[in-house]
Structure 1
Amino acid sequence: MARFYLYFRFLGIFLSTNGIWAHVYTMSFIFIAFYLILNQANSFLIGVFLGLAQFVDYIAIVPISLLIGFWIYLKIKDKQKKKLLTDIPLLFLGYSIFIAIIMYYHQSITGSVFKTPNSLFLLQLNQERIDTENYVFFAFFRKNMGFDI
């Protein structure tokens, strides 16, 4: 049990970088999925909770991938290799429901499945910075050098 504490202590530290309440929902869904994994619940339901964690917070891919690895480790340790082959598609089916929603959202907002709205904002911010720098550069030449570029 101490190993599980150390495992989730790492995840808690990983997701607590933006304040105490920033990732509460994500960690709640991850802990629910962890509880379901320990109780050997339905793999589809585990995938749904992992998908919800991903849906709430994009950077949750790190603890989600660690949790999926832990789930696979437990299946192999319990000698359920044949059941693992039927459970993996169920897990990813539950997970893919929310990934499909995220992908549709990105497609409708940005025009690309892999481009986030945040990346468009950063691109726009960078473009405004370049425009401001160009304006200052050209104003310097007009004023000091007598050039009209």
Structure 2
Amino acid sequence: MTEPATTACQVTVADIQRAVAHCYGVSVADLRSSRRAPETVQPRFIAIYLAQILTPLTASAIGRLFGDRDHSAILRAIKMIQVRLGKDPTLADEFEMLKAEACRHAGSVWRSRMPGDVLTFDQTLNQFGFELAIVPIGTRDHNGFAPTRGRKASTGE
């Protein structure tokens, strides 16, 4: 497979949301909200499209990070922005600037997601802010869960 014409970085949806919110003068909470005001819809759609091309997340995962939206709403937002970008050169310029801005927030250069890119389970967890912890089976509680810090695992007796 050919490499993308861009360079690599680890940009997160939070980086994208901050960059778009800053550029359009809205809050990150507005991007995640269910408000349909015109001043929030276009920035939200742009942030969703950036998340789709700059991260390895699925539409469902992106939807969860944008106010628990359904994957079909995410796909619709992506399609609408793609059409607008093709028709509006000013918006296309803003979009390119936002790619760079999101990367600046991440502190590195960005890389587009390419079809066939595969993430490990650890990388997927890290994208959502979780860490993988290996816990010996004998230390789990009666429900099969690892004990939390400061609590002893119950034996289920």
User: Could you tell me the TM-score, scaled by structure 2's length?
Assistant: 0.30
Higher relative CO (CA 8 A, sep ≥ 6), structure 1 or 2? 2
Give the structure with the higher percent helix: 1
Q: Which has the larger radius of gyration?
A: 1
